[in-house]
A and B are shown apart, each in its own frame.
Chain A
């Protein structure tokens, strides 16, 4: 069915030097994906934020202290996806069509094995049933299903938006969608435009170009999981801190 052209590999490049830690990505994500407000007993370790911003500093005391904000989401590992192979009942799947790691909450039995497998802590368990203040449940996004307690959920690059873009293309008789037609809520909502999103398999795309730059790195690259979320910063301490291998331009050809 699919034409011969290469299948997309969606990915992100996040410019840490542009992130001011406002949290819009976290909020827009929660709105888009029907993540409920916190249960009164929830905390930083039991709450659900598919996209979470974490402040990271250089461990130096005042006044030499410097910090950046890391927007952390599912890193969409392309290779040896740690969570996928461990799920006993295929609730996690590496989507070969898009490179997105899918989590299907209705298949999930809530064993949380995937959460222990994920080194990026990108997976969240529903410790409570979701609850919205009265009336707020009418403002949910119909493109994403709500979840129940006892299942794991995580970022899927706003796949509902991809489905919507495909439906629009289909009604116009197109099988492929243009790059601009699909952008996740976090990237769209970022007021400083720190999040670039696009197709890493397309060598001409901006994300491909940025991902190959020498200032770009990925988290825990040595694990060999080939995450599709890149970070970039021009501050050398960030690279040192992340123990990142700075790439030489010719060395790596991504997702070739």
Chain B
């Protein structure tokens, strides 16, 4: 049979009609739409049973109690425990998404060595044992050539800290260094003999004079703002914020005193001048007369000139500060020079805030069996006290993020062949030396101990329980120091697993019978005495609870030396040359400088501009207009130390002629443009801004 074109066409015509009379087109249309609703490459949430587990946050020493909502065993969201005495249900924006940290793409899975030579940097994965051998060799080398081995601890007071101290004591030139709140360390050093661990008692203070401390944003407990607003409405607390930028704290404080960048010390000395002149001081230091002559160059008129504020501001602040007791002056150690810290701390001494409830208080030491064991502990020293270029090996515990030392300072203290050994879940680039990084578990993966708050009247202790299993090959701080000790032949370190050592500490605390205990599962706080056994204490702390020491009773403090406040440094405004601005390096997330954050943080940065993301420079609108810059344009920042590109943001709240520069999470870039003080703190630096 001959099939012609027309017959084929008829067949096709019939088929076309036929197919319309079947479910094929309609079902295909429907199912393909359903396919787009369930694309196989779009992840689906895992189904499972829902439960809540209680624990404590390890991101900073605020030790917030939190509730993890879990599906199966997987934490899917975090929220605060509302009855918790430390955080009253509040979490900070880092904490609220901290359960993502373990999935961070930059997570370190194996120990590695990172070559420090510029250009030759590359990371070599190695076995832990192999790494220990190399580090031990360097330590032995240091001991042999009487170079220093330093161990840096961002969270002192932990059981691990005490083991670190034992390790340092076991070496001929071992030093144990804390990177705690350095303003309080300075205050401690102004006493003839150290009074003990110091802390700001902010909750009980009637007036807080803050020098740029982000009190209402991210410093200390995230419950601060709510507490302050409550007390403010009751007339029980005032905050005066002395700061160049209109920060979140400046915006909410009772008063914002905008001073020129880098003039905090001058402003504090101006207040001291008024206090002395008007006889507003309480605590007479034996060298007070000497101090008065020292600061004679800082009358309000001169200080007003330096800081760019009215004299009345200085006088009023001085009067309020001394009249509204208990008051406290606070300053952030990581962003200011030591001179500024000392000048501000002198204010606390002058009006008698030290050792007083609502001022600067002395914390009691938390009982520690390790501290009492036969193994000797090295005393605490500061990195300042160590000569430059003398540290052969520096060990840093970064397993819990926390205050970290500026890289400039670390670099200055290391010898030419110095190595840095870091225990951390992530790699922090430190291109100035050979670095060994040992992977540690992150939040929610391991048992961690949390001690001490620098913003509370008494110290506390919490535990963070492992809610999820840690990946293989992770090392916790206690294992780290024990293994390193045995590799380097340091034998005087207490043995025992992390859990055993922590349980021993519970027994020691329990036997002291002091302080109170918060039980997260029922929201009750009770006397420690009411517990029946150390195991009960352990169980309560293991489930988001918290032990709070009883406040230290006021005792007589040793005498102080106000003259240790130095005015030798150029504490005055650096007038920028014409067509130059003053570059103010800003650290949005200074505590987390050496840590990673959840990738979801893009929501408040990259995706909404709430917090600066990428490299941004903020200028007063008028300043920007004068320079011919528009919002969003790209500029080159040029200082004597280098140059970099940034995006301009015009902001009417900015002080004229100041360029506030933010760089991405890791601050290296902006810091590299700034001139540094002796103590490695950054100076406001003249900068030229040119459109690119």
A-side residues, CB < 8 A to B, are: 18, 20-24, 26-28, 30-32, 34-35, 37-38, 42-44, 47-49, 52-55, 57, 59-63, 65-69, 106, 129-130, 132-148, 185, 188-189, 191-193
Contact = CB atoms under 8 A, between A and B. Distances in A.
A145 B37 CA distance: 11
B251 A47 contact: no
B76 A140 contact: yes
Contacts of B256: 63
Given A44-B609, A65-B246, A139-B99, A189 B604 contact: no
B14 to A, nearest CB: 34
A26 B604 contact: yes
Contact of B93 (A27, A34, A66): A27
Q: How many B residues are at the interface, by size bracket?
A: 35 or more
B77 A141 contact: yes
A62 B258 contact: yes
A87 B251 CA distance: 41
A138 B74 contact: yes
Given A31-B97, A32-B77, A67-B251, A59 B606 contact: no
Interface in B560-615: 598-604, 606-611
Contacts of A192: 90, 225-226, 229
Contacts of A63: 256, 258, 655
Contact of B74 (A21, A54, A139): A139
Contacts of B97: 27, 30-31
B521 to A, nearest CB: 19
B103 A49 contact: no
A61 B222 contact: no
Contacts of A189: 79-80, 91, 96
B599 A26 contact: no
B15 to A, nearest CB: 30
A23 B599 contact: no
B599 A136 contact: yes
B656 A140 contact: no
A140 B246 contact: no
A22 B653 contact: no
Contacts of A23: 93, 603-604, 608, 610-611
A20 B248 contact: yes
A29 B226 CA distance: 20
Interface stretch (B39-47, B181-189, B323-331, B499-507): B39-47
Given A130-B42, A133-B105, A141-B76, A59 B609 contact: no
B407 interface: no
B610 A26 contact: yes
Interface in B89-130: 89-93, 96-97, 99-100, 102-105
B608 A20 contact: no
Nearest to A21: B248
Nearest to A28: B96
B293 interface: no
Nearest to A141: B76
A141 B99 CA distance: 13
A34 B627 CA distance: 44
Contacts of B50: 142
Nearest to A108: B37
Contacts of A52: 608, 610
B75 interface: yes
- Residue among B90, B92, B603, B654 with the highest chain A CB neighbour number at 10 A: B603
B71 interface: yes
A63 B243 CA distance: 12
21 contacts: A23-B93, A23-B604, A23-B611, A27-B97, A37-B599, A43-B607, A44-B607, A47-B603, A47-B608, A57-B653, A62-B656, A65-B246, A65-B652, A67-B251, A69-B610, A106-B37, A132-B599, A135-B103, A138-B46, A148-B36, A192-B225
Contacts of A42: 602, 606-607
Contacts of B223: 191
B652 A142 contact: no
- Residue among B47, B251, B599 with the highest chain A CB neighbour number at 10 A: B251
A135 B601 CA distance: 17
Given A31-B77, A61-B621, 19 more contacts: A24-B93, A26-B610, A27-B601, A27-B604, A28-B79, A31-B76, A57-B652, A61-B652, A135-B102, A135-B103, A136-B599, A139-B76, A139-B103, A141-B77, A146-B42, A146-B43, A185-B77, A189-B96, A191-B222
Contact of B96 (A24, A133, A136, A146): A24
Contacts of B92: 22, 24, 191
B67 to A, nearest CB: 10
Contacts of A68: 251
B104 A133 contact: yes
A187 to B, nearest CB: 11
Contacts of A31: 76-78, 96-97, 600
A60 B77 CA distance: 40
Interface string B61-81: 000000000010011111110
Nearest to A41: B606
Given A43-B607, A140-B43, A191-B223, A20 B216 contact: yes
B96 A53 contact: no
Nearest to A58: B652
A191 B603 CA distance: 18
Contacts of B39: 129, 148
A129 B40 CA distance: 12
Give the 5 A-B residue pairs with the shortest CB-CB distance, closest first.
A47-B607, A191-B90, A38-B602, A23-B604, A137-B43
A57 B47 CA distance: 44
Contacts of B599: 37-38, 132-133, 136
Contacts of A54: 608, 610
B371 interface: no
B531 interface: no
Contacts of A57: 652-653
A69 B610 CA distance: 9
Contacts of A141: 45, 71, 76-77
Contacts of B249: 20
A28 B77 contact: yes
- Residue among B79, B223, B602, B654 with the highest chain A CB neighbour number at 10 A: B602
Contacts of B235: none
Interface string B241-256: 0000010110110001
Given A22-B93, A141-B77, A142-B48, A38 B43 contact: no
B216 to A, nearest CB: 5
Nearest to B226: A192
A78 B97 CA distance: 33
A162 to B, nearest CB: 15
A145 B38 CA distance: 10
A59 B652 contact: yes
A136 B77 CA distance: 12
Nearest to B601: A27
